[in-house]
Structure 1
């Protein structure tokens, strides 16, 4: 009987070690969460005291102890409201004592990580007096696997995994315009492919500008318009500006504001219009902004047209359903006049691995110096890892799952039937259904 018990224990321990090595998520759900919950319960008071997250006893308790000649009361420990295991860690909901704030817990995140023996600790304020601490048990970004169920919606697509185990979404309704910066081989193109792959299945119009001619052209069947040189890009952007003006005229005609018009029926953007009249949203993807902004001439009329149109789209496009996704290796004032003004309109900021600190400062300098430092610490071996910054000053680390060119092209071809025909952009629609033999014969005859 003793040998049988030892054999069973050996098998269980071996299985646990194997899961921890090969399938950390399975190990966490089967063994790790139980051990971690017990460890947190056992160490909670000592950890709070060691991390200086306690407060002195109240004045009444101190006065009572002096009056009754008792021992001075101990430091008060923040109350642990509940502890809830997740697929990647544990969430703790803690009620703070008067005089504490959420910044104290976020500042102590690294000390809490070592004390609880977990991979990552993040905290956020849920409501006044209550803070939620998320303990991530293992490196979620080492092998990125997106969950099977995500909160998809119109113009809201999952694109990456966050270091705390949650999903990062590209939500165009919430963040209409964004800039994504990264060096060569940093994973920027994979991020772009993932966004396009997810948008391909949605009823939106995709518009691309790709002066390299190789990044967006494979997805041409799903694009309503595509420009592959600066001259066409200038004309395309101005056509989009004209379309935006027409949409605003449509919204104005449909407002019909009177004293008896309900507030909910007053149109201020395309989402307030009846579905039958609502123009289809347009997502513009610019593969390399430097190819449009750099110019050998000091006063280049074409460049001025491009930058002016981009600024107008960034300032006014949201309500008309026009959204910008700008990609580049650098995005700073060295690209010329107007770039700083354009960057100020781009709420979404994503930085992959960069070659110098100044590139990160261009993107995050007005948001958070901590995000700048984090962007410069991304290792070369972690392609697809990026820092996402928010206008509130917060930032987080994400990593995009690998999306091959074939997967993105297959998604675009599968949903090619959803490609809308926009009359204003008809002359920019890419030609994808052609006879290669006929083109060869025509070229031979021309020669």
Structure 2
């Protein structure tokens, strides 16, 4: 941040025009200038270079704001990022559109995903938590109000559990009810049980738990409907179709449902297990379709999430807006996450190395994608956070019979918590 930033800024500023020309990001001179050159027999005008609006140093590199020339589009710059990387001599270059006619080039001077260090300050908010570091040095946030439901795929040892623990650790400090389904006898979520309002460790309990959540969702909609009372003199600010518009004393606590392995809920071998599976899938689809307005959000984890798991799986997957894939063993697994997002994201998910646990690819519904890596979160760190904020665990009557039974002495939690502070 001292000599390196100054040197990099001066180097980019001096070499900017030649690099743009070498990377085919210039355009021919205007017809008027060409006409003047022919009229007065002047030398042929040089190619026009996109205007560099400003250079902003960051803790990982530089950000260049560029105004594109007429006839250019953002694809020209995204296709040239590899050439720009070699021309500027940096580790990584990414591009994104800021507004029509303006593109931002982000350069990173080193591999920020090799050893993840989250910034000292992050922007927390209600149901908005920092999860990982992006390859351009920015922070990847999980915003449940913007992306209510998500699916995370990855092979064994790819780092799904690390990401899961990171999410739960960050949510523990917020006013939210955590609900878990862990059919691996609860080995992943049971240590965090102090902060969970409900927990199921087998498919039978999971079916009952999901149906209880559906009942809570229906009851919440009745509360919203009763409080609407729309009339001609009702202020616009008081008309709502979700829990966020309800008065605070009536607003139900949001619920985040974490499912550790979706395949364990979808597989069956007997007729009884098939009926149980149908109950589970129907409840999950209803929660995914209708749960957002009722404050119920889904985080689903698994190794695969394809049609081979049976009827209803693809319908459920279509409702999950957030897509994340850790290292996968085959291309078809990546297509389950990004097949309808971007073919480039599918390829990127298959290129994650074995020695990078926690590294993943995140896809967005508009076709954008980026590489991220979550900081290593041990089980001890997650357990400590859940124990610290155990006093914030809400009691939900519909889920009372699924509340984990703890034989240990209760851990005192702070009376007041500021989960949205600037400091990470």
Supply the distance in 1 between the matched residues of 2:330 and 2:27 (Cα, whole angstroms): 43
The CA deviation at 1:434 is 5.4
Normalised to the residue count of structure 2, the TM-score between the two structures is 0.95
- What residue in structure 1 maps to residue 417 of structure 2? none
- What residue in structure 2 maps to residue 410 of structure 1? 384
Supply the distance in 2 between the matched residues of 1:358 and 1:62 (Cα, whole angstroms): 53
Deviations, residues 341-397 of structure 1 (Å, cap 9, x unaligned): 000000000100011111001111011000000000000001110000001011000
Supply the distance in 2 between the matched residues of 1:433 and 1:253 (Cα, whole angstroms): 41
The CA deviation at 1:297 is 3.3
- What residue in structure 2 maps to residue 150 of structure 1? 122
Supply the distance in 2 between the matched residues of 1:407 and 1:360 (Cα, whole angstroms): 30
Are 1:200 and 2:172 counterparts?
yes
The CA deviation at 1:295 is 0.8
Name the SS of the counterpart of 2:113 in structure 1. coil
- What residue in structure 1 maps to residue 370 of structure 2? 396
Are 1:240 and 2:213 counterparts?
yes
Supply the distance in 1 between the matched residues of 2:300 and 2:310 (Cα, whole angstroms): 16
Are 1:253 and 2:188 counterparts?
no
Name the SS of the counterpart of 1:319 in structure 2. coil
- What residue in structure 1 maps to residue 293 of structure 2? 319
Q: Which moved more, 1:295-304 or 1:399-408?
A: 295-304
Name the SS of the counterpart of 1:314 in structure 2. helix
Supply the distance in 2 between the matched residues of 1:135 and 1:43 (Cα, whole angstroms): 15
Supply the distance in 1 between the matched residues of 2:235 and 2:96 (Cα, whole angstroms): 38
Supply the distance in 2 between the matched residues of 1:283 and 1:156 (Cα, whole angstroms): 12
- What residue in structure 1 maps to residue 62 of structure 2? 90
**Higher percent of residues as helix:** 1
- Among 108, 127, 132, the alignment partner of 2:104 is 132
Are 1:63 and 2:35 counterparts?
yes
Deviations, residues 199-242 of structure 1 (Å, cap 9, x unaligned): 00001000000010200000011000000111100000000001
Are 1:329 and 2:303 counterparts?
yes
- What residue in structure 2 maps to residue 265 of structure 1? 238
- Among 93, 97, 109, the alignment partner of 1:121 is 93
The CA deviation at 1:81 is 0.8
- What residue in structure 2 maps to residue 11 of structure 1? none
- Among 135, 160, 163, the alignment partner of 1:163 is 135
Residues 277-292 of structure 1 mapped to structure 2, 5 A cutoff: 277-292=250-265
- Among 360, 363, 372, the alignment partner of 1:386 is 360
- What residue in structure 1 maps to residue 199 of structure 2? 226
Supply the distance in 2 between the matched residues of 1:57 and 1:74 (Cα, whole angstroms): 7
- What residue in structure 2 maps to residue 295 of structure 1? 268
- What residue in structure 1 maps to residue 78 of structure 2? 106
The CA deviation at 1:101 is 1.0
Deviations, residues 84-120 of structure 1 (Å, cap 9, x unaligned): 1111110111111111111111110110000000111
Q: How many residues align?
A: 407
Supply the distance in 2 between the matched residues of 1:328 and 1:255 (Cα, whole angstroms): 39
- What residue in structure 2 maps to residue 344 of structure 1? 318
CA root-mean-square deviation: 1.0
Name the SS of the counterpart of 2:2 in structure 1. helix
Supply the distance in 1 between the matched residues of 2:74 and 2:237 (Cα, whole angstroms): 37
**Which has the higher Rg, Structure 1 or Structure 2?**
1
The CA deviation at 1:31 is 2.3
Q: Which moved more, 1:93-102 or 1:240-249?
A: 93-102
- What residue in structure 1 maps to residue 418 of structure 2? none
- Among 260, 280, 305, the alignment partner of 1:306 is 280
Deviations, residues 381-437 of structure 1 (Å, cap 9, x unaligned): 0111000000101100000100000000000000000000000000000001359xx
The CA deviation at 1:75 is 0.5
- What residue in structure 1 maps to residue 10 of structure 2? 38
Deviations, residues 93-151 of structure 1 (Å, cap 9, x unaligned): 11111111111111101100000001111111111111111111111001001111100
Supply the distance in 1 between the matched residues of 2:53 and 2:166 (Cα, whole angstroms): 39
Supply the distance in 2 between the matched residues of 1:128 and 1:287 (Cα, whole angstroms): 42
State the structure with bigger RCO (CA 8 A, min sep 6), 1 or 2: 2
